[in-house]
Amino acid sequence: MRKPLEPVQVVKTRRDAALRALVSGVPYIQFLGIEFDRRGDELTAVLPFDDKLIGNPLLPAIHGGVTAAFLEVTAIIELSWSLLWEDMEAGRIDLATLDPLHLPRLPKTIDFTVDYLRSGLPRDAYARARVNRSGRRYASVHVEAWQDNRTRLFAQATGHFLMPPPPGTDD
Amino acid sequence: MTDPDAKLQLARQFIEAIPHSRALGMRLDALGEGAAEISMPYDLRLVGDPRTGVIHGGAVSALMDTCCGAAVMSHPGSAAGTATIDLRIDYMRAATPGQRIVARAEVYHITRTVAFLRATAHDDDTARPVATATGAFTVERPKGGQV
């Protein structure tokens, strides 16, 4: 017999709580002011413009390091989110204990290559990541970032990540 | 070029006028001709993993990018500024929490339009780098002028 479908609000509350726990526990994400929009399992990272993100005061333009950091944060959260999703949907994660210190470990960056396509304007920036390969030990993730127009990317990046050990194993 | 101390002083003011570099507490420690050393202190706001207190890779990228940019601008063949074309960072190990991170960058080749850079970052243990980087940066020359 089929399990009865959960009420939509229960599903949304659970997914939002998991995402919040993942994002709010990382001080650096808060420092840059990055937020995540969720539509089903699709995430969009949002970087609201702020004066402290400026790298060239004359233009002004967003600091290249901020762009790199924004893309890297987006890639790591997307990858962690994709790892968390199945366990969360299957009810294998206890939401009551879901705080930053009890989340599954985050993947570690092995390398990250950023392609700067145009200068980052003093506007909000958006980014979406795609996990191209997610193996037991390694993952490859591509990220795209834009500002006013979705088709005019201002930066893109590819990174390789070391997957966290499965729960219950010591590393 | 004028006296090296004056040059360093000028470059320091330039780096410190960049809002994001100031937000990360970056300090220009040394400047050569096509080489730079910039460091930043350990800061709890920059932590990427709350369990270990390790600084986020993104903050190390910001340090590397700034240091590479400073190295390009210090090169005698590039006076009017620069922008990053591409930057690849390899993360060798986690930086030790509590320690300063020091980045060193050098222009190892420059053409009329592009500068090629290598950089490394380390903490107190200078024998084992935290990260290395390679990048390509634009070379912007003063309009109409000879360099």
Confidence of residue B129 (pLDDT cuts 50, 70, 90): very high
> Mean pLDDT for each consecutive 10-residue tract of chain A (171 residues)?
81 90 92 96 97 89 95 97 88 72 81 96 97 96 98 98 76 50
Residue A10 amino acid letter:
V
Compute the distance between CA of residue A55 and CA of residue B28 in angstroms, rounded to an integer: 15
Average pLDDT over residues B108-117: 95
Give pLDDT, residue A168.
61
Q: Do B45 and A100 touch (CB under 8 A)?
A: no
Pick among 3.40.50.970, 3.40.50.620, 3.40.50.20, 3.10.129.10: CATH of A8-162? 3.10.129.10
CB-CB neighbours of B14 under 10 Å:
13
- Residue in chain A closest to B82 (alpha carbons) equals A56
Residues from chain B contacting residue A55 (CB–CB below 8 Å):
18-21, 66
Confidence of residue B143 (pLDDT cuts 50, 70, 90): low
B85 close to A (CB below 8 A):
yes
Q: Give the end-to-end CA distance of chain B in Å, rounded to a whole number.
A: 12
Q: What is the DSSP letter of A47?
A: E
Residue of B46, B67, B84 to mutate for A, most A C-beta atoms under 10 A: B84
What mean pLDDT is reported for chain B?
91
Q: Do A116 and B62 touch (CB under 8 A)?
A: no
Burial A111-130 (b: 16+ CB within 10 A, else e): bbbbbbbebbeeeebbbbbe
Q: Do B91 and A109 touch (CB under 8 A)?
A: yes
Tell whether B115 is covered by a domain: yes
Give pLDDT, residue A6.
84
Residues from chain B contacting residue A53 (CB–CB below 8 Å):
19-20
Tell whether B101 is covered by a domain: yes
Tell whether B94 is covered by a domain: yes
B103 close to A (CB below 8 A):
no
Compute the distance between CA of residue B141 and CA of residue B80 in angstroms, rounded to an integer: 5
Residue A55, C-beta contacts closer than 8 angstroms, at least 6 positions apart: A61, A62, A63, A64, A65, A66, B18, B19, B20, B21, B66
A106 close to B (CB below 8 A):
yes
Give pLDDT, residue B92.
96
Give A7-36 pLDDT, tens digit per residue: 899 889 889 988 998 899 899 999 999 999
Compute the distance between CA of residue B124 and CA of residue B95 in angstroms, rounded to an integer: 9
The two three-digit tokens of residue B92, written as one number: 């060798």
More confident residue, B4 or B116: B116
Question: Is the pLDDT score of B38 beyond 50?
Answer: yes
- Residue in chain B closest to A104 (alpha carbons) equals B51
Which contacts of B4-13 are long-range, i.e. CB under 8 A and separated by 24 or more positions? B7/B31, B7/B74, B11/B36, B11/B70, B11/B73, B11/B74
Average pLDDT over residues B5-15: 83
Q: CB-CB: which of A72, A115, A119 is closest to B58? A: A72
Burial B28-47 (b: 16+ CB within 10 A, else e): beebbebbbbbbbebbeebb
Compute the distance between CA of residue A153 and CA of residue A143 in angstroms, rounded to an integer: 10
Tell whether B33 is covered by a domain: yes
Q: How many domains does chain B have?
A: 1
Residue of B14, B26, B65, B138 to mutate for A, most A C-beta atoms under 10 A: B65
- Residue in chain A closest to B86 (alpha carbons) equals A115
The two three-digit tokens of residue A101, written as one number: 């210190």
Q: Note whether B141 and B147 are within 8 A (CB).
A: yes
**B142: buried, middle or exposed (CB in 10 Å: 19+, 13-18, 0-12)?**
exposed
Tell whether B146 is covered by a domain: no
Confidence of residue B147 (pLDDT cuts 50, 70, 90): very low
What residues does each domain of chain A span?
8-162
Size of interface A-B (CB pairs under 8 A): 125
Tell whether B86 is covered by a domain: yes
Q: What are the start-end ranges of the H helices in chain A?
A: 8-24, 27-32, 64-89
Which CATH number fits the domain that encloses residue B80? 3.10.129.10
Q: Note whether B64 and B105 are within 8 A (CB).
A: yes
- Residue in chain A closest to B69 (alpha carbons) equals A64
CA of A108 to nearest chain B CA: how many angstroms apart? 9
Tell whether B74 is covered by a domain: yes
Confidence of residue B79 (pLDDT cuts 50, 70, 90): low
Domain that holds residue B50: 4-138
Q: What are the start-end ranges of the H helices in B34-142?
A: 57-74
Q: Note whether A82 and B65 are within 8 A (CB).
A: no
- Residue in chain B closest to A103 (alpha carbons) equals B51
